[in-house]
């Protein structure tokens, strides 16, 4: 009796499920999988099989973490196929506010943060949860918080290697026009105006607009709307805060 590759795969999926069933029968079960956006097709197919069946439809939990700005079409297909399932809950982690940054800082560092340090963390990270956490971990590696003071009196925050790699990698995927926008934006400041960028790089506004649209689609910048804004266009801010200045390195 020959067994097809599809039958082999289904048998493997079911064997994995039986292991989880056995574990959940004796104790509580929580499965956590990080960086799901890097998963291959077989891993995602296994997860899709599991989340539709016991024990994950009953008394076990599977927590999946993925970055929304790293595209994985297979992952998107699974989420779309299961978006109406009652046992699937999708949580999007937005920007951290200053109270949340302060609370996370106290948890990571073990002591309450000064208001100036919270302000600087907010400014330099843009409230990005990953960048806030990695920056706090870098601060924890310092002997004293006093070593972080800059010439302006504001805290001088370390740039974590993980943040540097993330931002450089993300910017390395951009078209030359979009990357040039980022370079000018880093010089101008955290918040920038497309008209000012267009004047600075001497490019038609239409080319600048296309490059900005690419940056928005890649989740690198976002619009900042102000009620009394003089410019006819939107202002934009980077989602990496001033950490995006690594593009000048």
Under the banding of pLDDT at 50, 70 and 90, the label for residue 18 is very high
Listed ranges 18-27, 149-158, 162-171; the one with the highest mean pLDDT: 18-27
Q: Do 20 and 49 share a domain, yes or no?
A: yes
Long-range pairs for 67-74: beta carbons < 8 A, 24 or more residues apart:
67/35, 67/37, 68/92, 68/219, 69/170, 69/218, 69/219, 69/220, 70/37, 70/38, 71/37, 72/36, 72/37, 72/38, 72/39, 72/44, 74/39, 74/41, 74/44
Which pLDDT value is given to residue 16? 95
Q: How far apart are alpha carbons 115 and 112 in whole angstroms?
A: 9
The predicted structure's pLDDT at residue 97: 95
Out of 81, 108, 140, a domain closes at 81
| SS3 state of residue 228 | coil
Q: Is the model more confident about 24 or about 68?
A: 24
Verdict on whether the full-model pTM lies above 0.85: no
Q: What residues make up the domain containing 113?
A: 98-158
> Is the pLDDT higher at 141 or at 243?
141
Domain count across the chain: 3
**pLDDT per residue as tens digits for the range 104-139:** 999 999 999 999 999 999 988 889 898 999 999 999
152 and 178 both lie in a single domain: no
Choose one of 81, 116, 147: the last residue of a domain. Answer: 81
Between 10 and 5, the higher pLDDT residue: 10
Does 57 score more than 70 pLDDT? yes
Does residue 166 fall inside a structural domain? no
Q: Are residues 177 and 217 in the same domain?
A: yes
What is the pLDDT at residue 6? 76
- Who has greater pLDDT, 92 or 188? 92
Within this chain, do residues 66 and 119 fall inside the same structural domain, yes or no? no
pLDDT at 77: 84
145 vs 72, more confident: 72
């Amino acid at each position: 009796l020959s067994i097809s590759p599809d039958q082999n795969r289904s048998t493997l999926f079911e064997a994995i499920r039986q292991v989880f069933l056995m574990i959940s029968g004796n104790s509580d079960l929580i499965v956590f999988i990080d960086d799901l956006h890097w998963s291959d097709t077989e891993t995602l197919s296994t997860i899709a099989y599991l989340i539709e069946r016991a024990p994950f439809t009953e008394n076990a939990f599977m927590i999946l973490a993925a970055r929304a700005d790293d595209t994985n079409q297979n992952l998107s297909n699974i989420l779309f196929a299961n978006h109406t399932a009652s046992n699937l809950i999708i949580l999007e982690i937005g920007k951290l506010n200053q109270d949340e940054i302060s609370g996370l800082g106290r948890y990571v560092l073990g002591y309450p943060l000064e208001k100036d340090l919270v302000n600087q963390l907010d400014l330099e990270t843009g409230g990005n949860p990953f960048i806030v956490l990695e920056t706090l971990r870098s601060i924890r590696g310092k002997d004293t918080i006093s070593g972080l003071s800059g010439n302006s009196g504001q805290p001088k925050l370390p740039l974590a290697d993980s943040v540097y790699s993330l931002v450089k990698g993300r910017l390395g995927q951009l078209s030359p026009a979009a990357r040039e926008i980022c370079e000018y934006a880093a010089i101008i400041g955290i918040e920038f105006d497309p008209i000012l960028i267009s004047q600075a790089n001497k490019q038609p506004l239409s080319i600048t607009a296309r490059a900005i649209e690419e940056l928005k689609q890649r989740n690198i910048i976002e619009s900042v709307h102000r009620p009394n804004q003089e410019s006819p266009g939107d202002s934009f801010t980077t989602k990496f805060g001033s950490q995006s200045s690594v593009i000048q390195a």
